[in-house]
Structure 1
Amino acid sequence: MSMQRYEIKPKHFQHLNSKLLYISTSKYQGDWKSIPHSHHFTELFYVVSGKGTFLLDGQIFFIGINDLIIVPPNIEHTEQSLDASPLEYIVLGIEGITFFNTELSSSRIICNYSKKTELLNILNLIMEEVHHEPLGYTLVCQHLLDILLIQIIRCQKLVPASIGTAKMTRECGQVKQYLDSNYADNISLDSLAAFTHMNKYYLAHAFTKYTGLSPISYLNTKRLQVSRELLESTDHSIAEIATSIGFSSQSYFSQVFKKATGMTPNSYRKLKNREHKHAEQKKEEHNQSRLHKIKD
């Protein structure tokens, strides 16, 4: 009789401390508008079929079948499908863990994942468990998730980092999301503290450490970003724009805008109008030049 026996040796591997929040499947059918957003947790985005682009932390990547994107917590992202080849994908929401690489930032995209068969099998098993909810399915899904994450860590040589105890990161991420979505409201440090149930002085310190800006400075930066878009793309008055983005008065808006850009809102609008007219003129001249060349 032949027999082989292997002892299970303890290895120094950090417990993943991950928690599966959800799994979803989607197929683009032209009925969903791509809007940048962020979460306080990590997302795994796996392309089953189709082609498109993926916006991740200000960078645009082309994606296709078998691509796996790891979206870290609090990073703005969104996908854009090609109409000719609609994206179909599976997304996992995972709390308590993020990933780092010694050569890249935590915002990383992984293309053409080499162990695609194993990955898709595990994802399908999780989907099956969640769909039918048999006895102990949550425990099974959690174990399947751990296996999946270890496979990804091995294949891509990633370093897992637990964020389960990073309460500050989660709370600041929620504050950032709130400011991004509600910048037009009357927001103060006191109202933010009430929203988060945090001491306002701790909130100010934590958020500044998290973003590099105080909550109110971040809020004004967001408002100014929207105001520049409105000044360039609409004919709304300065007063209307100031009100629509949450400033208490036109004069305060103009003061903050000038301090940030070095010019008044009206001067900025005139400058952008001139630049736009100049660009249109150049475009027209180019088109006329091409037309003359065709005639000649």
Structure 2
Amino acid sequence: MSHKRFSLNTSTNLRSSLKLLNVDSSKYSGDWDSFPHSHMYAELFYVLGGKGKFQIDQEFYPVSPKQLIIINPNVLHTEISYQDSPLEYAVLGIEGLELSDYTECDNRFRILDFNEGDDITTCLRNIIQETTDNLPGNETISQAYMEILIVRLMRRINFTLNTTPLPTSSRQCAIVRRYIDAHYKENITLEQLATLSHLNKYYLVHSFKEEYGVSPISYQIDRRILESCALLTQTDMSLSQISQVVGFSSPSYFSQTFRKNKGMNPTQYRKTKSNQT
């Protein structure tokens, strides 16, 4: 009988240090506004089709299909499509990842060429398929494919992996909070806020709750109620006018939400505050 046993070094397990935050796929259209931005996490862009260029700080680099662009955290970048050959790409946002190179290459980013059917592109396409199908367990499977992708990448090129403590999301949450403060009267969706913060919407809700004690949408409602309290005590506006000004869809919904938040309806609140003055 022949028998072999291999001991595994679990101290190198990526699962405890890397997190797949978001998976996006995009295709250029005429309304695409491209502007330089950065993230507190790494991004992997895979060009599926079309041609364009990548801006890194103030420099520009041509990109084409079957190329993978690795952007390290906090690097200013954006993608620019050619009108006659619209860019189509998939992007992974990975927290806790930073790729470094011992050669003289630029450590801000790398542009790599891969063939269709390559094991790395297969992992990318499997992640896209999982998130598109959105079946139960897709986040677990996508996370596993991401970990395989990173290991394969490290085997293929002269990169080392720096796994750092997961950076705080306080900055992104603060951006979302400021946006809500400025636009609380408008119809804001989690999808909008996730795009604004470059976070998965479920991760955004979790992080925002940890930071401020409520979800982003609950914070928006609280902000509307706070403004309505000021209008109730400082103006003679009707409940219908106030509900419209602060962004509620109807006076009845405004009264219902106000009662739930303050323990009394708007009329009672106005009377109570009036008697106190």
> TM bucket by the smaller chain?
0.5 to 0.7
Distance 2:49 2:11 in 1: 34
SS of 2:73's equivalent in the other structure is coil
User: Retained in 2: the 8 A contact 1:57–1:107?
Assistant: no
Map of 1:107 onto structure 2: 108
Render the CA deviation track for 1:222-264: whole Å, top value 9, x for unaligned: xxxxxxxxxxxxxxxxxxxxxxxxxxxxxxxxxxxxxxxxxxx
Is the contact between residue 95 and residue 164 of structure 1 (CA under 8 Å) also seen in structure 2?
A: no
CA distance in 2, matches of 1:71, 1:155: 17
2:14 is the alignment partner of 1:25: no
Please tell me whether the aligned partners of residues 63 and 111 of structure 1 are also in contact (alpha carbons under 8 angstroms): no
1:136 aligns with 2:134: no
Give, in angstroms, the shift of residue 108 of structure 1.
2.0
TM-score normalized by the length of structure 1: 0.52
CA distance in 1, matches of 2:31, 2:6: 51
Q: Distance in 2 between matches of 1:47 and 1:114?
A: 11
Matched residue, 1:58: 58
> Residues 46 and 5 (structure 1 numbering): CA distance in 2 closer, same or farther, change over 3 Å?
farther
Which residue number corresponds to residue 158 of structure 1?
Answer: 159
SS in 2 for 1:111: strand
Who is 2:77 aligned against? 77
Question: What is the number of residues matched between the two proteins?
Answer: 176
Q: How far is the alpha carbon of 1:118 from its aligned partner?
A: 2.1
The answer (yes or no) to whether the contact 1:97–1:164 under 8 Å persists in 2 is no
User: Which residue matches 1:87?
Assistant: 87
- Relative distance call for 1:55 and 1:136 in structure 2 (3 A) is same
The Cα of 1:141 is off from its aligned counterpart by 1.1
The alpha carbon displacement at 1:158 in A equals 0.9
TM-score, normalized by length of structure 2?
A: 0.56
Change (3 A) 1:47 1:129: same
Q: In the alignment, is the contact (CA less than 8 A) between 2:66 and 2:116 conserved in 1? A: no
Distance 1:111 1:94 in 2: 18
Cα distance in 2 for residues equivalent to 1:137 and 1:67: 25
Unmatched 5+ stretches in structure 1:
183-196, 198-296
Deviations 1:179-232 (A, max 9, x none): xx99xxxxxxxxxxxxxx9xxxxxxxxxxxxxxxxxxxxxxxxxxxxxxxxxxx
Partner residue in 2 for 1:15 = 13
Equivalent-residue separation in structure 2 for 1:71 and 1:107 (angstroms): 6
Aligned equivalent of 1:39: 39
Unaligned runs of 5+ in 2: 180-210, 212-277
Q: Which residue type is aligned with residue 86 of structure 1?
A: P
Contact 1:70 1:109 in 2 (8 A): yes
Distance 2:96 2:158 in 1: 19
CA distance in 2, matches of 1:96, 1:80: 27
Letter in 2 for 1:78: T
Query: What residue identity is the alignment partner of 2:153?
Result: I
The 1:12/1:136 distance shift into structure 2, 3 A limit, reads closer
Instruction: Give the SS at the match of 2:148.
Output: helix
- Superposed CA RMSD in Å reads 3.0
Conserved 8 A contact 2:102-2:158: no
Amino acid at match of 1:113: F
